[in-house]
């Protein structure tokens, strides 16, 4: 049995990955603030088990319990593969740091950085004695490597996620049966996040026109295509654990 835990699973890239993982012998756990909708029935029709955890990954106090729930009912020897996909993310607030609300900045960092850090740590701790192929895929962004005016929290949190990935990769490299962990920027994907960016006032986001043109020119990649590439990278052992990658370079 293969177990996959996906955050931000109710829409966009997370939902696309979850759908592509719906295969017989796969046990899936979706984590999102909203409900599963028709995904439960879809998984059953495809022979996959799907469990749903409704919760806010922006609430750091709930993260350890979320991971405990995600792994509940799975015996240590039952799963031959266990994967955590930290996909949940947000770009807001889109505004210069001088005018962005402090609570909005804090929530951005909580969702984009604190959540994957704490969930990964809990995943490591709770599966430490499991004799399984354990993998973590962190969905990063090119914004973690390039500064954007108006995206200070988003850029900073994604840069932090990349460095966290490098550090855990270094730690686990010296462990017997250590996990494989990757941080991958998915490119510019046609999701609700891109729609929200285009709706932002150009006064708050200087690169607004560039993202409008990406949509108008058909340069955005579809969520299904990107999900397929990310899942291939997840099981591509040619990249050392701890690698920080961009899907557009692969």
Give every strand in the sheet of 81-86, ordered side by side.
49-54, 26-32, 2-7, 81-86, 133-139, 180-185, 244-246
Q: Decide if 8 is inside a domain.
A: yes
Residue 89: its pLDDT value, please?
97
Which residue(s) pair with 86 in the sheet?
A: 138
- Token pair, residue 47, equals 């022979």
Q: Decide if 90 is inside a domain.
A: yes
Q: Decide if 192 is inside a domain.
A: no
Spell out the per-residue pLDDT of the chain, length 250, in tens.
999 999 999 999 999 999 999 999 999 999 999 999 999 999 999 999 999 999 999 999 999 999 999 999 898 889 999 999 999 999 999 999 999 999 999 999 999 999 999 999 999 999 999 999 999 999 999 999 999 999 999 999 999 999 999 999 999 998 888 999 999 999 999 898 898 899 888 888 888 898 888 888 988 899 999 999 999 999 999 999 999 999 999 8
Handedness of CA 221, 57, 179, 72 (dihedral sign): negative
Question: How close are the terminal C-alpha atoms of the chain, in Å?
Answer: 29
- Token pair, residue 218, equals 């058909």
In the block, residue with structure tokens 């756990």: 29
Handedness of CA 61, 150, 166, 75 (dihedral sign): positive
Domain count, the chain: 1
Residue 73: its pLDDT value, please?
85
Q: Decide if 197 is inside a domain.
A: no
For 232, what's the count of Cα atoms within 13 Å in the CB-facing half-sphere? 9
- Token pair, residue 56, equals 């806010």
**Residue of 154, 164, 205, 211 marked active site:** 154
Q: Taking the mean position of all CA atoms in its chain, how far away is CA 213?
A: 26
Q: Decide if 28 is inside a domain.
A: yes
Residue 208: its pLDDT value, please?
86
Give the β-pairing of 49-54 and 133-139: unpaired
CATH of the domain at 100: 3.40.50.720
Residue 210: its pLDDT value, please?
86
- Residue 148 is among the residues annotated as catalytic for this protein: no
> Is residue 64 classed exposed, middle or buried when 0-12, 13-18 and 19+ CB atoms within 10 A define those classes?
middle
> Whole domain around residue 40: which residue ranges?
2-186+224-245
Q: Decide if 202 is inside a domain.
A: no
CA dist 13 and 163 (Å) reads 22
Range 26-40 burial, b when 16+ CB lie within 10 A, else e: bbbbbbbeeebeebe
Q: Of 57, 59, 61, which Cα lies nearest the Cα of 87?
A: 57
Q: Decide if 73 is inside a domain.
A: yes
Q: Decide if 211 is inside a domain.
A: no
């Amino acid at each position: 049995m293969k177990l996959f835990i996906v955050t931000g699973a109710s829409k966009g890239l997370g939902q696309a990955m979850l759908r592509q993982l719906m295969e017989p012998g796969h046990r899936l756990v979706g984590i999102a603030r909203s409900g599963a909708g028709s995904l439960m029935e879809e998984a059953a029709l495809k022979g996959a088990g799907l469990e749903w955890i409704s919760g806010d990954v922006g609430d750091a106090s709930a993260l350890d319990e979320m991971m405990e729930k995600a792994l509940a009912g799975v015996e240590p020897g039952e799963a031959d593969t266990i994967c955590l996909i930290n996909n949940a993310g947000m770009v807001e607030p889109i505004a210069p740091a001088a005018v962005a609300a402090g609570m909005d900045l804090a929530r951005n960092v909580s969702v984009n950085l604190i959540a994957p850090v704490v969930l990964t740590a809990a995943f490591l701790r709770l599966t430490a004695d499991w004799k399984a192929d354990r993998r973590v895929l962190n969905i990063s962004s090119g914004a973690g490597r390039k500064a954007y005016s108006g995206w200070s929290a988003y850029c900073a949190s994604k840069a932090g996620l990349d460095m966290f990935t490098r550090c855990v990769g270094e730690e686990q490299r010296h462990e017997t049966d250590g996990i494989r962990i990757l941080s991958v920027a998915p490119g510019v994907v046609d999701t609700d996040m891109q729609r929200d960016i285009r709706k932002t006032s150009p006064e708050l986001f200087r690169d607004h026109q560039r993202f409008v043109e990406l949509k108008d020119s058909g340069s955005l990649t579809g969520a299904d295509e990107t999900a397929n590439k990310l899942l291939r990278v997840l099981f591509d052992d040619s990249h050392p654990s701890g690698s920080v990658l961009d899907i557009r370079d692969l």
